[in-house]
Amino acid sequence: MEANIVLLPGDGIGPEIVAQAKRLLEGVATKFGHSFTTSEHAIGGNAIDAFGDPLPQSTIDACKASHAILLGAVGGPKWDDPTARTRPEVGLLKIRKELGLFANLRPIQTYPELVDASPLRREIVEGTDILFFRELTGGIYFGKSGRRPHPSGEEAFNEMVYSTGEVERIVRMAARAAQQRRGKLTSVDKANVLEVSRLWRQTAERVMKEEFPDVAYDVVLIDSMAMHLISRPRDFDVVVTGNMFGDILTDEASMLPGSLGLLPSASLGSEGPGLYEPIHGSAPDIAGKNVANPLATFLACAMLFRHSLGLTAEAVAIEEVVAATLKAGYRTKDIAAGGPSISTSEMGDVVLQQMTA
């Protein structure tokens, strides 16, 4: 197969982990006889520095013309001034919107050999296997926002909006995934307080009743879910929720396998290229030190093969190599629990060796 893959390294540890992922893509191409063309484009803080824009038009054009996109991360203290004209994160939100990537899939799986890397007890986390569907192009992230004068100084506002159509499409996608898994779907909202959540809940219930009577469906309030996620994570199969709730719950969920550095994500629309990235950020505290865990980005490559290129064997090969690497005892610092660890590039070496062995 020939495929055109856009790489968006971004900021902080982004370039370090994407460099390793690029080697892995090349390794997979060699092993399976594919030809992938990759090109790198600017997004985030470095794009603000070079172009004055966190998402230059040239990056949008390249993404639209690609089969799939792999992103590292954006952001960092250099661009954190609250009065700045723009921010790195704007670039990420804009590319999601431009490409219509309304569904963010975030799988949470625990590895038997890593169970002790989790701050939670083995008997709680062992066997956890959850697939989150986070709505990605609506909600409070994309509502009207601004500031206005207020007797005390000023006030700021962000509107949270969801339409029935936005809820229907993400719920349908999540329910179809549940049918392929253990047949359970949990919708998370704040319907006891928010009107937006009441529309979300009504819509989700209707879709599930009319179209997916075979899927066991329940609803959990967001605050309660934050607790259930770490007290009984094994009870959840597929979870669907809005943009901000999904953002927060999945960072929390990263403590089930043990590190943010292990969790990949896929952002998908109804057509066109998908965007694949680790769920973590640019990790300014460890950037430039060659210590970041590249496994989340490798697993994002597996999702890219599966969802955008239809290359299931290649996806499985990456997932198996990552599991075998952990089984063989290789650890980056974040999952080493104080024991011996290897660097970002050494982890890249080990994974690549196994992939091409």
- Residues carrying an active site annotation: 141, 190, 223, 247, 251
**In degrees, to the nearest 5, what angle opens at C-alpha 12 toward C-alphas 9 and 14?**
30
Position 43 contacts ligand IPM (CB under 6 A): no
* Tokens read off for 10: 């971004």
* Residues 3 to 32 in contact with ligand NAD, rule: CB under 6 A: 13
**In degrees, to the nearest 5, what angle opens at C-alpha 60 toward C-alphas 311 and 314?**
10
Q: Which stretch binds Mn ion (CB under 5 A): 46-54, 85-93, 191-199, 241-249?
A: 241-249
Position 334 contacts ligand NAD (CB under 6 A): yes
- What is the distance between the alpha carbons of residues 185 and 273, in angstroms, rounded to a whole number? 26
Count of residues that interact with ligand NAD, criterion CB under 6 A: 21
- What is the distance between the alpha carbons of residues 249 and 154, in angstroms, rounded to a whole number? 31
Rg (CA), the chain: 20
Position 135 contacts ligand NAD (CB under 6 A): no
- The letter for the amino acid at 311 is L
- Min. distance of Cβ 151 from ligand IPM in angstroms? 32
Do residues 249 and 132 lie in contact, with contact meaning Cβ atoms separated by under 8 Å? yes
Position 248 contacts ligand NAD (CB under 6 A): no
Kind of pairing, strands 103-109 and 129-135? antiparallel
- What is the distance between the alpha carbons of residues 15 and 21, in angstroms, rounded to a whole number? 10
Do residues 75 and 45 lie in contact, with contact meaning Cβ atoms separated by under 8 Å? yes
- What is the distance between the alpha carbons of residues 218 and 201, in angstroms, rounded to a whole number? 10
- Min. distance of Cβ 186 from ligand IPM in angstroms? 20
Do residues 140 and 195 lie in contact, with contact meaning Cβ atoms separated by under 8 Å? no
- Min. distance of Cβ 293 from ligand IPM in angstroms? 16
* 3 state DSSP class of 182: coil
Task: Decide which of ligand IPM, ligand NAD, Mn ion, none touches 93; Cβ closer than 5 to 8 Å per partner kind.
Answer: ligand IPM
Position 98 contacts ligand IPM (CB under 6 A): no
Biggest CA–CA distance in the chain, Å, is 68
Position 71 contacts ligand IPM (CB under 6 A): no
Position 68 contacts ligand IPM (CB under 6 A): no
Task: Decide which of ligand NAD, Mn ion, ligand IPM, none touches 46; Cβ closer than 5 to 8 Å per partner kind.
Answer: none
Position 279 contacts ligand IPM (CB under 6 A): yes
Task: Please identify which residue in the block is written with the tokens 């050999």.
Answer: 113
Position 261 contacts ligand NAD (CB under 6 A): yes
- Min. distance of Cβ 14 from ligand IPM in angstroms? 11
- Min. distance of Cβ 5 from Mn ion in angstroms? 23
Position 244 contacts ligand NAD (CB under 6 A): no
* 3 state DSSP class of 102: coil
Residues making contact with ligand NAD (CB under 6 A): 13, 73-76, 89, 92, 260-261, 277, 280-286, 292-293, 296, 334
Residues engaged in binding ligand IPM (CB under 6 A): 75, 89, 92-93, 247, 279, 281
